[in-house]
Chains A and B, each alone.
Chain A
Amino acid sequence: MAEADEVTLVGTVNQALRRAMAEDPSVVVMGEDIGRNGGVFRATLGLLDAFGPARVLDTPLAEASIAGIAVGMAAAGLKPVAEIQFMGFVYPALDQIVNHASRLRNRTRGRLSCPMVLRTPTGAGIRAPEHHSESTEALFAHIPGLRVVVPSSPARAYGLLLAAIRDPDPVVFLEPTRLYRAVRERVADDGRALPLDVCFVLREGRDVTLVTWGAAVKETLAAADRLAAEGIAAEVIDVATLKPIDRDTILQSVAKTGRLVVVHEAAETAGLGAEVAAIVAEHGLLTLLAPIVRVAGWDTVVPLARLEHAYVPSEARIVEAARRVVRFQ
């Protein structure tokens, strides 16, 4: 096998799309400027030339239509992968996602299904204007029938996107914008998917469990390094599939460490961190040695560029929270 190249996260998204389209003629990609222009972040670069305009569709600026057309295509047997340019633009599409994509299988008692993927960049940190920085994954995770998947590295973007496209049900696939070109890693373009519905343990440790996902994985791993230098061994779990959530991996880790810090960039109130805390409170309360702490985005509108650093949970906040639960008596 040829040696794998070093690729960015947006690069592995492109590879996964290309691979999925090559292996399955029912896969089509669609969205605003995704064809000739290759997408606002170039995730679909070259697909129009490779697969032609029947399978790579430039759409009007109309998110509700993009999602609605994808629902129809999926119900008719295609596997549409629709791109919404930024998560802040997804709300006109919510009616189609919530009222149709998520429940088509249930409504038709299994006669129809909706194997579509809705991809969208998510999160702050690229100094973009308003509406380009949101992390509202909890809105989608609340909807029965949806899967919500967030990769945190080029390799996981490749494997999870392939799995999302091959999955027989609708998947909301959130790509952390500030990780798009943050790192490069060797990823074999071998068509191998990663499993959905499971957490990934990125680092093992006995003292405290740090549960996170998406872009916050970056600061959380950095915090774990700093904690290690202080003699605190942190276990880092990337949830990856936010819904349905893999309780077992989280509960097993907390049973070992007795301490839990949940880190996410989205606003704290009613964020997924509350769900993680509730799972541990319900099923693992007696394994806890300290109160659960959340380190999350503030309950504010994501600020503009000059304050983004004060909004995104910092390595320092994560370290401080971990120290607090470890020292708790």
Chain B
Amino acid sequence: MVEALTYRLSAHTTADDATRYRAEAEVSAHWALDPLHRLRIYLGARGWWTKDDEEALIARCRAEVDTARDAYLALPPPRPTDMFDHLYATLPPALAAQRAAVETEADHG
């Protein structure tokens, strides 16, 4: 069993301003303890991880995220009836009327 204390280094969300409730010194102290950060220092000190390696990795990750984001943005807008598609294996007849009403409203809306 591993019991580990963890620390959130970034803000909770893009709407969260973490400086409201914690000091910069507290956050930077935790950055120094971050295992990923420490592993990079360790690998770098032994010459197993160079600046070029890191830049290449970041570029690859960024491209992967950009591709995923572009794929999402290219999706057609969801149809209002999508709400009903995965509620049950088979839409119960009792819900068919609601689905039809949504379809009608979407056509008129």
Contacts and interface: CB of A to CB of B under 8 A. Distances in A.
Interface of A: 33, 36-38, 268, 298-301, 303, 306-307, 310-311, 314, 316-317
B2 to A, nearest CB: 21
* Residue from the set B21, B83, B87, B95 with the largest chain A CB neighbour count within 10 Å: B83
Interface stretch (B32-40, B48-56, B61-69, B98-106): B98-106
B78 interface: yes
B47 interface: no
A301 B98 contact: no
A307 B78 contact: yes
A311 B82 CA distance: 11
B83 A303 contact: yes
A300 B108 CA distance: 21
Contacts of B108: 316
Contacts of A301: 83, 87
B105 A300 contact: no
Contact of A317 (B78, B87, B105): B105
A135 B91 CA distance: 22
B109 interface: yes
Interface of B: 20-21, 77-78, 80, 82-84, 87, 95, 98, 102, 105-106, 108-109
Nearest to A37: B21
B83 to A, nearest CB: 4
Nearest to B15: A40
B100 to A, nearest CB: 11
A307 B83 contact: yes
28 contacts: A33-B21, A36-B20, A36-B21, A37-B20, A37-B21, A268-B98, A298-B83, A298-B98, A299-B87, A300-B83, A300-B87, A300-B98, A303-B78, A303-B82, A303-B83, A306-B77, A306-B78, A307-B78, A307-B80, A310-B80, A310-B102, A310-B106, A310-B109, A314-B105, A316-B105, A316-B108, A316-B109, A317-B105
A271 to B, nearest CB: 13
A299 B84 CA distance: 9
B109 A298 contact: no
B29 to A, nearest CB: 19
Contacts of A306: 77-78
A322 to B, nearest CB: 16
Contacts of B83: 298, 300-301, 303, 307, 310-311
Given A299-B98, A316-B105, 12 more contacts: A298-B84, A298-B102, A300-B87, A301-B83, A303-B78, A303-B83, A306-B77, A307-B82, A314-B105, A314-B109, A316-B108, A317-B105
